[in-house]
Amino acid sequence: MSSEHKPRPLLVSIPHAGSEIPEEVASAVALSQHDLLGYTDLYTDQIFNIDNVYLVSNPISRVIVDVNRAPDDISREYEQAAEGVTVHTTWDGRSVYAKEPPQEIVDVLITKYHDPYHEQIDKRMAEVQFLIDGHSYLSVGPKLKRDSGEERPDINLGNMNFSTCTREHTVFFREFFEERGYSVRVNFPYTGKYILGHHCHRRRIPPFLVPGIQIEINQGLYVKPDSFDAIPNRVEEFHALFAKLVDAFTERFLAEEDA
């Protein structure tokens, strides 16, 4: 690939937009395809899907295989089995399976759907200087989350307590959104999980680690209440806003390194 056609040195990860059920567990899942939409990061595949960067996205439902959890983060280690790479309980307390799959099927799911996501990221690490992990969340903390019942900010920036990028990076993102009238919190309710923890570090450490941040957008800003439908034009507006964010970030932090 010639340098003039090479994407900017930034990778965008979109791990939770998908709602597909893998064939290996299709007959065992108790939730309908419509139900599963409630556990996706709605429309993030459109909001964060911008031109001229490296993109990695996942079509599989997060409640079946969560690529933002470690492959050995086993749900049965948790009291209600609502966390981990595969879960048995959703964040609002519903059972994922009518009949839970055996461990050998879980192992297949991880190998077939989790591992390739991170292999795609690893393959691009030598070419990028920063990673953005793109998410959205419910406007009020759900039943089994630590902020249950609390109103959430418009934007949540996660940097694993400043271990995956610098304060300068974080302040840039915070001020970008605040200057446009959005409320922002850093590392609450989420600090970031496996994608940041596995692929990111405050300093670039070739060939596998780059600085990175998780961006959560409040779904109440662009999804109709009690619905999975988008508010007209709002997804497009956030897509344009994110494109501006990446342009500004590239000019500020990456232009020199990419020269």
**Per-residue pLDDT reduced to its tens digit, 59-92:** 999 999 999 999 988 755 455 556 789 988 888 8
| Rg (alpha carbons) of the chain, rounded to whole number | 18
Question: What are the phi and psi torsion angles at 258 (to 5°)?
Answer: -85, -10
Q: Which ranges constitute the DSSP H helices of 102-231?
A: 103-109, 115-124, 167-178, 194-199
Cα gap 212→131, rounded to integer Å:
4
pTM for the complete prediction? Answer: 0.93
Read off the pLDDT of residues 160-203 as tens digits, 9 standing for 90 and up. Answer: 999 999 999 999 999 999 999 999 999 999 999 999 999 999 99
Identify the DSSP state of 247. H
Identify the DSSP state of 206. T
What is residue 143's predicted lDDT score, i.e. its pLDDT? 75
- Residues 211 and 159: beta-carbon distance below 8 Å: no
DSSP character string of 17-66 = ---B--GGGTTTB-S-HHHHHTTS-TTHHHHS--SSSEEEE--B-TTT--
- Structural domains of the chain sorted by starting position, each given as residue range(s) with its CATH number in brackets: 3-258 (3.40.630.40)
Q: Between the CA atoms of 225, 158, 59 and 99, what dihedral angle is there, to the nearest 10 degrees?
A: -80
CB contact set of 186 (below 8 Å; sequence gap of 6+) = 156, 157, 158, 159, 170, 174
pLDDT at 2 over 50: no
What is residue 83's predicted lDDT score, i.e. its pLDDT? 76
